[in-house]
Structure 1
Amino acid sequence: MRILFFQSFLLLFLGVAVHLTKAQDAPNNTAIEALSRIKGLDLEANPALKGAVLKVLATTRGTPQFVEIVRDFNLTDQGTGLLECVLKNSTNSSGPDAMRLLASQGQSNLITTALQGSNAAPILTVLGNTGEKRFVPWLTPFIKNSNRDLALRQAALSALARTPEGAQFLIDLARADQLSADLRFIAMTELNNVRWPALKAAAAQVLPLPQSQDSQPLPPIAELIQQTGDSTRGSKIFRRPEVGCSNCHQIESEGIDFGPRLSEIGTKLGKDALYQSILDPSAGISFGYEAWQIELNSGDEAFGIIVSETAEVIALKTQNGIVTQYKKTDIRTRQKMSASIMPTGLQLTMSPKDLVDLIEYLTTLKKKS
C-alpha cells in the first residue's frame, strides 16, 4: 500500500515538474532531483512512471543530465540522444560517459557510422578522453588511412597516446617505419610526454625530440607552452639573418611577401600551433601556400607558390617575392609538393630560450581593434 502511495505521489510530483519544465523551456532541477531519488526502479513494471521519466528525459537532450538519467534507469533505446551528448560534451566528462554507455549497450554502430561523417573530430576527442583500451580499434584505422583528413588523423593519434595500448601501437608503427611522415612530429610530441616510463623511454629511442642549437633535445611542446618568454627579445630573434623569418614573411610592410603574413598571427594561432608550425612546418600547410615544382620544355625548373592561373598562364611567386608568369604551353610538368615551403630545422639556429622568446613575440602580433 505504501509503495502504491509513493508511486502515485511521485507521478503527481513529476507531472508538475514536467509542466514547469515545459513552461521554462529548459531542464527543471526539481524533476531531475526527484529522479535521482528513485534511480534503479524497474520502469518496465510501471508504464506510467516510465512515461513520466521519458518526459523529463526529453527536456535534457544534449546535457549531462540526459546521460545520468539514461544510465540510472538503464534506458537502452536512447542511442541517438547519447550520440548527441557525445558531440555536445566533447570537452567534459559527460562526453566520455555517453560514449561508454553507447559501447556497453551494444550501440557502437552509431559511433562507427558517425566517424565516417562530418562529426568525426569531436568523437575522436571523446574516444581519447575515455582513456580506455577498448576504443583503440576505433582509432587505429585513421592512422593507417592516409586518405582521411590530416587534422582527423592527428586527433586520432593524440587520442591513441592517452592509453598504453594506443601508445604502444604508435611506437610499433614508428619502429617498423610504417608511421607516415605527416604524423611523425605529433607522434614524437605526444609519445615523449606520456606518463608511462617504459613507453616514454621507447618513444625517446624511436621518435627522439628535435634538438636545439646546443644539440640538446627540446622539451615537449606541452612543456614549452607553459614557459613565458621575452617578446622584446623575441622580436630581435625574428629579425636575425641566421633565423631568416623575415626572408619569407611580412609583418606589416617589413619582410618579403612570400609565406603567410604574420601581422595578425597571434590572433589566429595559439602557442601550441605556433610551435608546431616551426618544428614541423609540413604538418599544417596554409591553404594557398602549397609549393609547386614546375619543369619547363626548355629543361629549366621553377619552384614557388601559384598565385593565379588562367587557361593560358600560371603566375608563380618565388622565394624572393617575385611573381613570374609561365605560359602553359611552355610547361612540361607541374607537381604539388607534399613538403612545406618553410624549411625544417629552424630550431637548430636557436637555443630553447630563443625559441620560447620568438613564440612569445609572435603571440603579440594580433589584429588591431
Structure 2
Amino acid sequence: MIIPSAMRLQRILKRHLRSVCAFLMLLISGSLMSAERPDARVSLADRSVAETLLRLPDFNLRGRPDLIEKLDRYLRANQGTTRYFQLVRQFKLKDRSNELLAIVLSRPGTTPGTWAAETLVQFDKRELLEQTTRHADTDRAVAAVRGLASVGDADTQAYFVETLKKGVLPVETLNAIATALSDQPEGEQFLAEWVASGNLPPQLAFTVGNLLHSSEIAAHRKIATRHLPRPKTSGGNPLPPLKDLVGRSGDPEHGRTLFFSKAQCAGCHQVDREGKQIGPDLTEIGSKLSKEVLYTSILDPSAAISHNYENHEVVTVDGKIEKGILLSRDTTGTTLKDAEGIVRSFSHAEIESFRKLPLSLMPDGIEKKLTVRELIDLVQFLASLKNSR
C-alpha cells in the first residue's frame, strides 16, 4: 500500500474539506431560502398534489382536508389555466362558480372566458350568467352576454330571443344580444324576420341593420336594404356596412382637423386639454375602444353611453324642462350640465320630476355632415389617441 506524503495528505483533506463546507453551505442557504420564501416550497407540493389528482379521475376528496387545502391553493395560483379548468371540471368543484363567473366577466372573448362560461353551464349554473346579463352595469352585462354567446346552445339562443323581445334592458346590452344572435344561423333568421315584421325597436335599428347588411345570406341583405336603409353621408352616398368601415384606414392628421372643425366634436370633448369638457375626455380613447366601438359611438351615440355621462331630465314645477349630464344629486338638490356646458342647479322644491333619459346628450346624424372618407379619417384620428406611457 502506498502511503501518501504528509503534504499530499494535507492537500487531499483540504480539498475534501472545501467540498464538505460547500455542501453544508448549500444546505444552509436552501433552508434560509425556504424560510424567506415559504410559498416556493408549498407551490411545489401543491403542484405535485394537483398533477397527481389529474391522474386519478375517480379519487374522492371527501375526508381529505389536507389535499383540499393544497388543491385550493394551487387553483387560486393558477386561475384560468388549462390545468385549472381540468381540475375544476374533473372534481365538479361547483363551489368555485362565483370564481368562474369572475373569469367570464374579466376575460370576455378569450379562451379562459369561454371555458369558464361552458363550465358554469355544465354545473347547471346558467342562471348566474343570465342574472348578470340583467345587471345595471352594462360592462358586466355585456361581458356576461358574450360569455353566454360563447356557449352557443339552444337554451342560450332562446334566452336571447326572449330577452330581446321584452326589450327592458339598456340598449347597449340589447345590442350585444342582437350581435350574439347574429353569429348563429337561427339567431340571424330571427333578426331578419323581426325586421321584416316591422316590430324591431328603433333603438336597435343601427346595430341590427349593420348585422343584416353584412350577412352572407342575400335574402337577409335584401330585408335590411328595404326596411333599414343605410344612412347617407353629406355626399349623398350610403354608408358602407360597419364591418367594411372598420377595415379601412384613414388619415389621422386630417381627422384631427375635422375633430376641431367640421365634425364639431370639440364642442363637447377635449383632446390634450383642447375643446369643451362636457362629454368624456378623449385624449386616450384609442387605448380604450376599438375602431368598431368608436364608429358605433359616433353613428349610434345612444347605444353605448359612457358611465357618468348619461342624459338626465329635470321638469320644474313651473313646467320648464332642462336636460344634461348629472353632476350631483343630494339632499340640497340636483345639478345638471347641458350640451352647451352651462351648469344649472335645482332645489328639491323646484323639481316636479327627474329621470334618466335613454338617449345620449350627444346628437346623432354626424354622418350627414361628413363624407365617407372624412368619417374614416375622423375615426382613424380617435383610434390614434393612445396612452403615451
- Provide closer, same or farther for how the CA distance between residues 321 and 97 of structure 1 changes in structure 2, counting only shifts above 3 A: closer
**Structure number with larger C-alpha Rg:** 2
Percent identical: 28
Match of 1:114 among 120, 125, 129: 129
| Structure 2 residue identity aligned to 1:110 | K
Q: Does 2:221 match 1:216?
A: no
Who is 1:125 aligned against? 146
Match of 1:51 among 51, 56, 59: 59
Match of 2:280 among 260, 272, 278: 260
Who is 1:275 aligned against? 295
Task: Structure 1: give runs of 5+ residues left out of the alignment.
Answer: 1-21, 36-47
Q: Does 2:376 match 1:353?
A: no
**1-side partners of 2:100 and 2:344: how far apart?**
53
Q: Does 2:195 match 1:168?
A: no
- Provide closer, same or farther for how the CA distance between residues 340 and 62 of structure 1 changes in structure 2, counting only shifts above 3 A: closer
**2-side partners of 1:98 and 1:338: how far apart?**
32
Paired positions, count: 329
Aligned-pair CA distance for 1:116: 1.7
**1-side partners of 2:340 and 2:113: how far apart?**
49
TM-score after normalising by structure 2: 0.68
Aligned-pair CA distance for 1:312: 3.7
Match of 2:221 among 192, 196, 200: 200
Who is 2:331 aligned against? 311
**2-side partners of 1:144 and 1:330: how far apart?**
38
| Structure 1 residue identity aligned to 2:59 | G
Who is 1:15 aligned against? none
**2-side partners of 1:151 and 1:224: how far apart?**
20
**2-side partners of 1:253 and 1:67: how far apart?**
47
CA contact (8 A) 1:83 1:98 kept: no
CA contact (8 A) 1:171 1:206 kept: no
Aligned-pair CA distance for 1:127: 4.3
**1-side partners of 2:302 and 2:246: how far apart?**
20
Aligned-pair CA distance for 1:77: 6.1
* Deviates most, 284-293 or 308-317: 308-317
Who is 1:344 aligned against? 364
* Deviates most, 181-190 or 131-140: 131-140
Q: Does 2:311 match 1:291?
A: yes
**2-side partners of 1:62 and 1:365: how far apart?**
31
Q: How does 1:174-193 map to 2 (within 5 A)?
A: 174-193=195-214
**2-side partners of 1:95 and 1:50: how far apart?**
27
- Provide closer, same or farther for how the CA distance between residues 111 and 304 of structure 1 changes in structure 2, counting only shifts above 3 A: closer
Deviation by residue 1:226-252 (Cα, 9 ceiling, x = unmatched): 2221111001111224x2212222223
RMSD (Å) for aligned C-alpha atoms: 4.0
Aligned-pair CA distance for 1:25: 4.5
Aligned-pair CA distance for 1:148: 3.7
Query: What secondary structure, in the 3-state scheme, does the structure 2 residue paired with 1:255 have?
Result: coil
**2-side partners of 1:120 and 1:308: how far apart?**
25
TM-score after normalising by structure 1: 0.71
**1-side partners of 2:308 and 2:110: how far apart?**
35
Deviation by residue 1:198-248 (Cα, 9 ceiling, x = unmatched): 22332333333322222322222222222221111001111224x221222
